[in-house]
Structure 1
Amino acid sequence: MEFSFCRRVVVTTWDGHGFRSATLNAYNSLNSGNSRMGSLVEGLSTCERLQCDTTVGYGGSPDESGETTLDALLIDGPGHRMAAVAQLRRVRDAARVAWAVMNHTQHTMIVGEQATRFALQMGFKEENLTTPASLLMMDVWRRNNCQPNFWKNVNPTPTKSCGPYQPASATENLEKMVLSNRIIDRFHHDTIGMVVIDDSGEVSAGTSTNGARYKHRNE
């Protein structure tokens, strides 16, 4: 069976001003003759700049040390290529850095300080990703006994207090298995996801995020 696409398509998760702007910028880029992948990166980068829903870009979702780090993933359908960065520090352009990984390396993912060093080598600017908003998130979290967090089977009880933590005994672990301090809402399970389809029906997809709030810090 053959499918015929009569128009270009850009689909993005979520609503709101930032997400709509990201979708529109990606579509306008595609409509102006730019490549499918380039248009995808333009859309994701828009959300990074606008800090969509505080789940994308700098100044959101601090880890448990208070630092914001960024992740981005790009998938090129017809080329069977993918590239990603994770735990990117001090560089705001996660999607564009992932794009550089795809275009200038044979890697599929670069992580942490190595990702930052790569970004600087590619000419990206080093900047502080912390903002007054992310500092306020951390202050509220600490005053709320570091709830929620990603610890389990440790002492002191992670559902009631901040660390530092140490492993709990086997008996204590059994007692704590029934406990959960996870809060499930729109800020704990999603970010921007974007799909771009060109005139030929070829598909690219990608995502950008500042990750889970109060996650473990990775060195």
Structure 2
Amino acid sequence: MAQDCLEGIDVSHYQGTVDWTSVAGANIRFAILKASEGTSFQDPTFHTNWAGAKAAGLACGAYHYFLPTESFMQQADNLVGALQAVQFDPATDLPPAIDCEEMQGCSPATYAYALSALVELVQMFIGVKPMIYASPAFWNALGNPGFGDHPLWIAEYTSAAAPSVPKPWSDYAIWQYTNSGSVPGVNGPVDRNRMAPPKAAAAAPVASPLHWF
């Protein structure tokens, strides 16, 4: 299956300066870039990474690190503002992702409520359903709070041919399969991702990074 899947990376300011021409030359086809976190933090490399990845011909997406105890309205403003600043286009860019990995001591019910409110606001502003990023263990601990109509970006580091997919999903859109990848143009380890092949033609080569959405 791997040979039929587009390869991608995700980066933040932790990777420093990225040589996107070298990244594209290594057959990396898409990049998901940290845009924001909580109510006010915006990644200082987001604009540069977005421009560089676009110029190198990569499909781009953005992610927001979700903090469930902070205002979901302000978090939506933070992410949407970052997307607007880079002229996000839902017709050509990957849907933004909500990075779900920190409880901050809140209950699963509180977490699910805040996440639902955030994704609804983001969708209202940008006109596309955000992806949900989570590991199987984290999502299962929430007790299957729904969101099955949103694309899943699953984080599971395994040598298996495919990741475990938590309920309510039956499939994933993107699989982050390692956090210790090596890619020309990136200093040090980097998260590597693989996009699922088209459902209707799983054996055919993938043509577009937007096929899943």
Q: Given the two structures, how large is their TM-score scaled by the length of structure 2?
A: 0.23
Bigger relative CO (Cα 8 Å, ≥ 6 apart): 1
Q: Counting strand residues as a fraction of each chain, which structure ranks higher? A: 2
